[in-house]
């Protein structure tokens, strides 16, 4: 009988790629999510019955344990970029990670892959970064041989980074950027999934891996790269940090006074703190080289999914060629 892996947050951006890879490798995959009905799109990633979404709330021991029953390996992809209601950084990224690792250890499961983030640091001013580090420490406390993945900003067809800003160019003549000079090392989502697959299969030695792509660029440069791909001319406007802090405070306050009815989907105070720090692989850190993975470049992937934001969509290149012929 084929082995079983439980992937917490398996319907998310990174999780779905791990699900696809594990199904292709012949594993049965249990996708543990809060809303299984909204995750049925993962079923076709494998044969009939091979991939199954199940309900799980990682804030509850019994729920996490039920989703893990009979599993040979566990992957935790659950994380949040902003707090809403009971889904706080501490509840999800610290307590949730600890709960999964503790129950995995109790169930005798020693194959655990935990997806964290570059910049995880208990001394950080950002609660996001603090709780990421706390989650890592909790995982290693219970499962010392766990594989921890720390990706930089992740890009791919379903990302909320390039897609978000490219969508903005349809209506706005300006692309506002907070932390314009902050450096990033964007990593392709399937490269992260490949590293996770190696962790599940036991092909990656235990430890933490910082995952970054081949390109290191500032936030401003990334936006200019995106504009080149979508064939639009827009002003990339650097938002001063003090202005960003005021904006974030106002949006956070609005969410608070409306009891979450109006969610801050623009920028939070914690995100502003993060945007002040470079997000690149640390010198000497284990990464793709250790795993013998050659990361995919942005230039080879971005045009494949950002074309829909061009003025004429998929016909933009054809129309440009036709103009050259008329001249």
pLDDT for position 33: 96
Structural domain includes residue 244: no
Structural domain includes residue 227: no
pLDDT for position 84: 84
Provide mean pLDDT across the span 175-194: 97
Nearest to 210 by CA among 132, 123, 104: 132
Six-digit token pair at 90?
A: 């501490």
User: Domain total for the chain?
Assistant: 1
Confirm whether pTM is higher than 0.75.
yes
pLDDT for position 313: 81
- pLDDT-based confidence at residue 326 (cuts at 50, 70, 90): low
State the residue range of the domain holding 58: 4-156+185-214+278-295
Specify the CATH number for the domain of residue 45.
3.40.50.720
Q: DSSP H helical segments within the chain, as ranges? A: 13-24, 61-68, 89, 96-106, 127-142, 162-168, 189-201, 219-230, 241-257, 269-274, 288-291, 302-306, 316-326
Structural domain includes residue 176: no
pLDDT for position 327: 52
pLDDT for position 315: 72
pLDDT for position 86: 87
In tens, the pLDDT along 48-76 reads: 999 999 999 999 999 999 999 999 999 99
Across the chain, mean pLDDT equals 94
Structural domain includes residue 262: no
Residue with more model confidence, 102 or 327: 102
In tens, the pLDDT along 239-292 reads: 999 999 999 999 999 998 888 888 888 899 999 999 999 999 999 999 999 999
Is the model's pLDDT at 317 over the cut of 80? no
Taking the CA atoms of residue 122, residue 128, residue 134 and residue 137 in that order, the dihedral angle to the nearest 10 degrees is -100
pLDDT for position 181: 96
- pLDDT-based confidence at residue 318 (cuts at 50, 70, 90): confident
- pLDDT-based confidence at residue 300 (cuts at 50, 70, 90): very high
Structural domain includes residue 324: no
Structural domain includes residue 92: yes
Six-digit token pair at 224?
A: 């200019």
In tens, the pLDDT along 6-64 reads: 999 999 999 999 999 999 999 999 999 999 999 999 999 999 999 999 999 999 999 99
Structural domain includes residue 97: yes
In tens, the pLDDT along 132-154 reads: 999 999 999 999 999 999 999 99
**How much helix, strand and coil, in percent to the nearest 5, is found in the chain?**
45, 15, 40
Structural domain includes residue 232: no
pLDDT for position 1: 67
Provide mean pLDDT across the span 106-112: 96
């Amino acid at each position: 009988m084929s082995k079983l892996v439980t992937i917490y947050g398996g319907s998310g951006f990174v999780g779905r790629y791990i699900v696809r890879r594990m199904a292709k490798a012949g594993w049965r995959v249990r996708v543990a999510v809060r809303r299984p009905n909204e995750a049925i799109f993962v079923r076709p990633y494998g044969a009939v019955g091979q991939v199954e979404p199940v309900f799980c709330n990682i804030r509850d021991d019994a729920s996490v344990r039920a989703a893990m029953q009979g599993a040979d390996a566990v992957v935790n992809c659950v994380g949040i970029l902003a707090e809403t209601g009971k889904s706080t950084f501490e509840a999800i990224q610290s307590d949730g990670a600890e709960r999964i690792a503790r129950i995995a250890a109790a169930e005798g499961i020693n194959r655990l892959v935990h997806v964290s983030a570059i910049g995880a640091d208990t001394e950080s001013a950002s609660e996001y970064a603090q709780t990421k580090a706390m989650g890592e420490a909790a995982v290693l406390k219970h499962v010392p041989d766990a594989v921890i993945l720390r990706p930089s900003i992740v890009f791919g067809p379903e990302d909320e980074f390039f897609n978000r800003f490219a969508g903005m160019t349809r209506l706005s003549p300006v692309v506002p950027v907070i932390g314009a000079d902050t450096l990033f090392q964007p990593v392709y989502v399937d490269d992260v999934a490949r590293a996770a697959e190696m962790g599940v299969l036991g092909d990656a030695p235990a430890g933490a891996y910082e995952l970054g792509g081949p390109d290191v660029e500032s936030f401003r440069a990334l936006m200019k790269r995106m504009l080149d791909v979508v064939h639009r001319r827009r002003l990339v406007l650097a938002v001063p940090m003090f202005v960003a802090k005021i904006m974030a405070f106002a949006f956070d306050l609005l969410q608070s006074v409306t009891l979450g009815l109006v969610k801050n989907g623009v920028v939070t105070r914690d995100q502003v703190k993060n945007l002040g720090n470079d997000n690149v692989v640390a010198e000497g850190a284990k990464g793709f080289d250790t795993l013998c993975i050659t990361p995919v470049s942005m230039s080879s992937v971005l045009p494949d999914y950002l074309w829909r934001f061009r003025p004429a969509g998929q016909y933009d290149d054809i129309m440009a060629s036709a103009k050259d012929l008329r001249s």
